[in-house]
A and B are shown apart, each in its own frame.
Chain A
Amino acid sequence: MIEILSTPSLVTVQDLGRSGFYRYGVCRSGAMDRLALAIGNLLLGNDRSAAGLEIPILPLRLRFDVDMNFSLAGADCGAMLGDRPLPPCWAARAKAGDILTLNTPLSGCRAYLCVAGGIDVPEVLGSRSTQLRETFGGIDGRALQKGDRIAAAGNDARLPKDGLGALPPAVALAAAGDGVTVVRVIPAAEYGDYDEASRAAFWSADWKVTGQSNRAGYRLEGPDLALSRMIELRSHGVVPGVIQVPAGGQPIIQLADAATMGGYPKIGVVIDADLWRIAQARPGDALRFVECDMAMAADAHDETEIYLAHLAADVSRQYRLATAWGVA
């Protein structure tokens, strides 16, 4: 069991999300940074899709009531286990009574806490992710509160006793960008309906992430994007990454908890492989869009899969070696 000691803000149980229920209006939900969740899980010998805690606002304090293997991924929150500093992207063993302190990150936005075997809550519609709007999934469909106690399903994996980490994706999958988060975007159906100046501005601007940004979507501030003619679209399916532009001319990137259908014009869609970069952008940070086609998007997907496959193999090897050398 893990007990939440401080007052958390918007902490939810998330796995990789619900798939196959869009036609009932149920969006994917799941971790905003799915790569971080996968990394945190792989470090513990879990399936990459096991449920963990998404922690968007720090600091946070919690206590382990039992011995437990856990990991932290996503934003580097200068974590301390008792008085011992933990490296970023790291799995460690907590002893009963240990207090884990997560601090405000220097960069990045969301931290993920994974536990051996994943968080033990019932699956609803095939997933343990929290559906905040409809209040189901995760812990009773809500964010965590102080005093909540989280159970881990547990697994047999014997973690190296001094811990184990992953090469962070910010290093392994670094994108060009001088303090700006760069994400790749495939133009959407209405791209050609934006006037030339707007299209140019879309690619060249440093879009500011506003404070009205959350799991449903990130509202951006920057140049006005104007259509060359009025269009009234028929409502159509929407997935995370779709960049809608409502009448005000300021784009909104639809994200994990976004509505499954929408009728606003869309200028482009962020590729799946770059959604994690958006999840780590904070209000005030700048985003820049780079044009991408389907082949490049497929390459980006492959690059991520290769990273995870290598990590899984390398982690597995470290577990074996640690056992062989008696340091697990």
Chain B
Amino acid sequence: MSASAASLEEPRITPLGSSAILFEAPGAFDIEHQKRIWALADAATGWDMVVEAVPGMTNLMLILARPPRDLTAFEALLRAAWDTGDEKHVEPTVLELPIVYGGEGGPHLRDVAEGTGFSVAEVVRIHTEPDYTVYAVGSHAGYCYLGGLDARLFMTRRKVPLVSIPGGSLSLAGMQTGVSASAGPSGWHTIGRAEISFFDPERQPPALLKPGDVIRFKAERVIV
């Protein structure tokens, strides 16, 4: 059985090719499970042969220094560490982020309104209401995967991705929402724009936000 929108019953550990391992946590897609993933990442970072532990959305990728002959040792380490139930508690940095919703920067805002059955104004209100927690940073440099999107705004990915959306684009798909940090393709629904630098290679650390930090979206303008 594989992971689907329904959850796994127990952790699934699989090779991701010859030099990485994927750990998928059981249970719901929620902050408690994500905090356990952050703790697991911290634990794994110290293990022999682990180059990097990369949290995903209730999952963890271990990048290894060289191919292991089998997964036995890592399976044991991962299960033992997961079974501790440890959660990582992060003192969050809270970022208030002004967004211009709709218009040129948010070409799919109307599609989301139609797809969810809400008006554009309601979509914006529902979207700006919660605090969003950074679950993971990835995809491209500085990009934050955010948890906390209201279920009423869930939309499947677009059939035809956009070849390029500029950095600062606010998008959503499935249970996830996020703001891109640089120009690139996207299969998500782009609903607004922010002016901010999420990534600077000369900065230490180079990404503006880390897992556990919080974003509050503020509607600076709504273009219908």
CA distance A136 to B181 in the complex (A): 14
CA distance A239 to B16 in the complex (A): 8
Tell me, yes or no, whether A232 is within 8 Å of chain B by CB: yes
Q: What is the predominant secondary structure among interface residues of chain B facing chain A?
A: loop
Min CB–CB distance A28 → chain B (angstroms):
9
CA distance A194 to B11 in the complex (A): 21
Q: Looking at the complex, which of A45-53, A101-109, A144-152, A264-272 is the stretch in contact with chain B?
A: A264-272
Tell me, yes or no, whether B14 is within 8 Å of chain A by CB: yes
Min CB–CB distance B2 → chain A (angstroms):
5
Tell me, yes or no, whether A177 is within 8 Å of chain B by CB: no
Count residues of chain A with CB under 8 A from any CB of chain B. 54
Tell me, yes or no, whether B63 is within 8 Å of chain A by CB: yes
**B71–A236 CB distance below 8 A:** no
CA distance A14 to B174 in the complex (A): 36
Query: How big is chain B's contact interface, by range?
Result: 35 or more
Among residues 91 to 139 in chain B, which have CB atoms less than 8 Å away from a CB atom of chain A?
Answer: 136-139
Tell me, yes or no, whether B12 is within 8 Å of chain A by CB: yes
Q: Looking at the complex, which of B17-25, B79-87, B216-224 is the stretch in contact with chain A?
A: B17-25
**B17–A189 CB distance below 8 A:** no
**B18–A235 CB distance below 8 A:** no
Tell me, yes or no, whether B148 is within 8 Å of chain A by CB: no
Tell me, yes or no, whether B166 is within 8 Å of chain A by CB: no
Tell me, yes or no, whether B152 is within 8 Å of chain A by CB: no
Q: A124-B201, A186-B17, A295-B69 are in contact. Are A24 and B141 (CB under 8 A)?
A: yes
CA distance A320 to B219 in the complex (A): 69
Q: A189-B3, A294-B15 are in contact. Are A239 and B63 (CB under 8 A)?
A: yes
**B19–A239 CB distance below 8 A:** yes
| Chain A CB within 10 A, most for which of B56, B71, B143, B184 | B56
Residues of B within 8 A of A157 (CB): none
Residues of B within 8 A of A233 (CB): 3-4
CA distance A297 to B202 in the complex (A): 36
Residues of B within 8 A of A23 (CB): 41, 52-55, 136-138
Tell me, yes or no, whether A154 is within 8 Å of chain B by CB: no
Among residues of B, the one whose C-beta sits closest to the C-beta of A265 is: B2
Min CB–CB distance A46 → chain B (angstroms):
21
Residues of B within 8 A of A172 (CB): none
Among residues of B, the one whose C-beta sits closest to the C-beta of A21 is: B206
Among residues 186 to 213 in chain B, which have CB atoms less than 8 Å away from a CB atom of chain A?
Answer: 187, 199, 201-202, 205-207
Min CB–CB distance B153 → chain A (angstroms):
15
Among residues 215 to 273 in chain A, which have CB atoms less than 8 Å away from a CB atom of chain B?
Answer: 229-239, 241-242, 246-247, 259-263, 269-273
CA distance A9 to B68 in the complex (A): 38
Tell me, yes or no, whether B57 is within 8 Å of chain A by CB: yes
**B2–A193 CB distance below 8 A:** yes
Q: A25-B139, A294-B18 are in contact. Are A231 and B69 (CB under 8 A)?
A: no
Kindly identify which residue among A131, A237, A241, A242 contacts B141, using a CB–CB cutoff of 8 Å: A131
Min CB–CB distance B38 → chain A (angstroms):
10
**B17–A239 CB distance below 8 A:** yes
Tell me, yes or no, whether A276 is within 8 Å of chain B by CB: no
Residues of A within 8 A of B182 (CB): 133-135
> What are 26 A-B contacts defined by CB distance under 8 Å?
A22-B54, A23-B52, A24-B206, A25-B138, A25-B140, A26-B141, A125-B201, A125-B206, A133-B182, A134-B140, A186-B18, A188-B16, A231-B2, A232-B156, A235-B56, A239-B17, A259-B140, A260-B139, A261-B54, A261-B136, A261-B139, A261-B145, A269-B17, A270-B17, A294-B18, A294-B70
* Other contacts beyond A19-B51, A262-B139, A294-B18: 16, CB < 8 A: A22-B63, A24-B207, A133-B141, A231-B5, A232-B4, A232-B5, A234-B56, A236-B59, A237-B54, A237-B60, A237-B138, A246-B187, A247-B159, A259-B140, A263-B174, A270-B17
